[in-house]
Chain A
């Protein structure tokens, strides 16, 4: 257990290092002078020279990286060119909206898809099952942002139930969360259904039925809890997909989260903000994956730590 935790922590730390390296290289490998990228257009030459010195661009690339890591460790990700504010602060201000959107969708997807998948598996080949499968296929083939646009069209423009865009009360998050959750909903429903179908054929399920346990107990305690193990493994990666999807969903619904911030910063060539946003989202993603792996251990005590280490 302990050795697994240590190994997993090292793995995450390595991922953090990798993220730092990639973000560092992204900005350095750009054609042209990074100092020019970081400064507004037509900056005076002495300002460029000063920034070059400050960034250490006159030194070797390894030292530059080390300086960059030190800056990040101190929470210094530069100043936004456009907003004239601390870049990290801007990102952290926008972050709650993105997190809310991501986890809101995450929970909507789980709450809906697991029961739907279980019922679908127990009623295999019924019209309910077929309907679910069609829904799953559509959900996996639909760009979530287009569904968002369609939601706005029906629920906001035509029926005026929810606001079209912007941030405010809970009503502003209903449509974004629903549309963002569809892909994961489809995936988890599919996994729950196929996992349940497989497990319902297992000997121990037959034994449980044979000894007269109620169907509720057989499905809930015996079958579902084992299916959950398979589902949890994909959840970590799904959070990443949701985080990425949140960028686009925010744009569709004009929510001022990290996604909108990145897009705006890219348009304005505000590289410190782009850099800070990418770093923060990637760190968040690494952290969530770490949590999911730890959670995985608790959910399935059978898993030997040896086999986990092989992953």
Chain B
């Protein structure tokens, strides 16, 4: 309700300014202390994933049954210290967490990128052209939203089979509806504005109008929703991994580590505790960054300045 009151008058300068200065947004983001903290966490996570082979103390796949379920700080006969202990196959938990960040970040970003682009395109088409195209796309959106998301995703994966590629595809094709809705709503509010009407009056092609006049004005809400979706997809990836429907073993993922952790909870609490903390930290970082982005891109916040 509150949103409708921020009239187009407020939105227009904001939209134009977004187009003008990415630097300004970045500055506002940096001034937002909590968002900066979130950004640092996200950057660290990416660095951790990229440099995993160098950062991880040991090989995450190396099994050693003599070292099964050893507690934090365990030193084995070779003098190797396992800071976060070992799992049921004697693998180093710390190394597995470091490598697990790869799958979480790949799935999170790739599914949002793919689903986001799909949703952006379909949302633009739906909002701009209206009529039967809009009806068709929105009905598909309605149908997809008639399923609890995770149930739909896990069924498709169950049928397609588990793999990194399938996981990303499934999350993208089930997740695009959210972006499509948000983009369509923004297109509808921009479409009737004078500058779009003017462009149309002088005979600019639809494709050009969408690209030059509409797209820049829907980017802000799209970016904000995407950032929160990355966090959501990371949690969903972990959930599917926990259910045994994520990236198949032996590849370490936070989700399948949690599943091991649940199984050995009585004997070895550390297996299930630390990957969960890793998820919370990363998701928290992304959410904080998302909050900051929303504020930095929102006219209500910065027009006051």
Contact = CB atoms under 8 A, between A and B. Distances in A.
B287 A21 contact: no
Given A146-B258, A248-B242, A137 B280 contact: no
Interface stretch (A12-20, A76-84, A206-214): A12-20
A15 B142 CA distance: 7
A146 B148 contact: no
A26 B273 contact: no
A266 B148 contact: no
Contacts of A21: 143
Given A137-B288, A282-B146, A149 B265 contact: yes
Interface residues on A, range: 35 or more
B213 interface: no
Interface in B240-266: 242-245, 258, 261-262, 265-266
A146 B261 CA distance: 10
B242 A145 contact: yes
A169 B155 CA distance: 31
B253 to A, nearest CB: 13
Contact of B147 (A143, A145, A274, A278): A278
B148 A281 contact: yes
A153 B261 CA distance: 10
A15 B148 CA distance: 13
A198 B151 contact: no
Contacts of B156: 26
A286 to B, nearest CB: 5
Interface residues on B, range: 35 or more
A54 to B, nearest CB: 21
- If over half of B's interface residues share one DSSP class (helix, strand or loop), that class is named, otherwise mixed; here it is helix
A252 B287 CA distance: 25
- If over half of A's interface residues share one DSSP class (helix, strand or loop), that class is named, otherwise mixed; here it is helix
Contact of A243 (B148, B272, B279): B148
A145 B151 contact: no
A19 B269 CA distance: 41
Contacts of B149: 240-241, 244
Best-buried of A14, A30, A149, A229 by chain B (most CB within 10 Å): A149
18 contacts: A18-B142, A18-B143, A26-B155, A143-B276, A143-B283, A146-B238, A149-B276, A150-B276, A230-B1, A244-B148, A251-B242, A262-B151, A262-B154, A266-B155, A267-B244, A274-B158, A282-B151, A285-B147
Given A248-B243, A286-B146, 17 more contacts: A15-B143, A16-B146, A153-B272, A164-B266, A240-B147, A240-B148, A251-B242, A251-B243, A263-B154, A263-B244, A266-B154, A267-B244, A274-B158, A278-B147, A278-B155, A282-B147, A285-B146
Interface of B: 1-2, 139, 142-143, 145-152, 154-156, 158-159, 231, 235, 238-239, 242-245, 258, 261-262, 265-266, 269, 272-273, 276, 279-280, 283-284, 287-288
Interface of A: 11, 14-16, 18-19, 21-22, 26-27, 29-30, 137-138, 140-143, 145-146, 149-150, 152-153, 157, 164, 198, 229-230, 240-241, 243-245, 247-248, 251-252, 262-263, 266-267, 274, 278, 281-282, 285-286
